[in-house]
A and B are shown apart, each in its own frame.
Chain A
Amino acid sequence: MSKFISKKDLNSWLNKVREKRRLIAPTKVEDLVLFKEISKVEDIVSDYVNTDLSPKEFFFPPTEVLFSIAKKDGGVELTPARVEKETVIFGMRPCDAKGIIALDKPFLEEPTDPLYREHRDKTILVGVACLKACPECFCSSMGGGPDDPAGFDIMLTEVKDGYLVQVLTDKGKALMPDSMLSESKEAKPKAAEVAKVPAEGVNVRLRQNFDDPYWGRLADRCIHCNMCSYVCPTCYCFDIRDYPNKGKSDRVRSWESCQSAGFTKIAGGHDPRANKGIRMRQRFAHKLLYFPEQFGVSHCIGCGRCVKSCPVNIDIREIISDVQKLGAKGE
Chain B
Amino acid sequence: MSETEQIRAKAKELLDSKKVDCVIGYERATDGKNARPMFVYNAKDTDRLIFDQTCRHNLVRYLLNRKDKVTGIVVKPCDSRAINLLINEHQIARDKVVIIGVVCPGLVKTDWNKTGDKLRDACQICQQRTPVVYDVLIGEPKKVEPPADAYPDVTGMEGKSVEEKRAFWEKEFSRCIRCYACRQACPGCYCSECFVDRLDPLWVGIRIAPAENEMWNTMRAFHLGGRCIGCNACEMVCPVNIPLSLLNRKLEKEVMTLFKFQAGLDPEAPQPLAAFLKDEKLGVAE
Contacts and interface: CB of A to CB of B under 8 A. Distances in A.
**A–B direct contact (CB < 8 Å):** yes
Interface residues of B, number: 37
A220 to B, nearest CB: 4
The residue in B29, B37, B179 that gathers the most chain A C-beta atoms within 10 A of its C-beta is B179
Contact of B30 (A225, A276, A315): A315
A141 interface: no
B161 to A, nearest CB: 22
A317 B208 contact: no
25 contacts: A52-B239, A53-B239, A62-B177, A62-B209, A63-B209, A136-B31, A136-B113, A223-B184, A225-B183, A226-B178, A226-B179, A227-B181, A227-B237, A230-B177, A252-B207, A254-B206, A254-B207, A256-B206, A260-B197, A261-B197, A307-B30, A312-B37, A313-B31, A313-B36, A315-B29
Contacts of A217: 39
A295 interface: no
Give me the 7 closest cross-chain CB pairs, A-B, nearest first.
A225-B181, A62-B208, A313-B36, A311-B237, A227-B179, A223-B184, A313-B29
B36 to A, nearest CB: 4
B57 interface: yes
Given A243-B205, A313-B30, A220 B62 contact: yes
Contacts of B205: 241, 243, 252
Nearest to B236: A311
A38 B40 CA distance: 49
B205 to A, nearest CB: 7
Interface residues of A, number: 42
B20 interface: no
A30 B240 CA distance: 9
Interface in B1-36: 29-31, 34, 36
B180 interface: yes
A135 B114 CA distance: 11
B239 A231 contact: yes
Given A230-B178, A313-B36, 17 more contacts: A62-B177, A62-B209, A135-B113, A223-B181, A225-B183, A225-B184, A226-B179, A226-B181, A227-B179, A243-B205, A252-B207, A254-B207, A260-B180, A262-B197, A311-B184, A313-B30, A313-B31
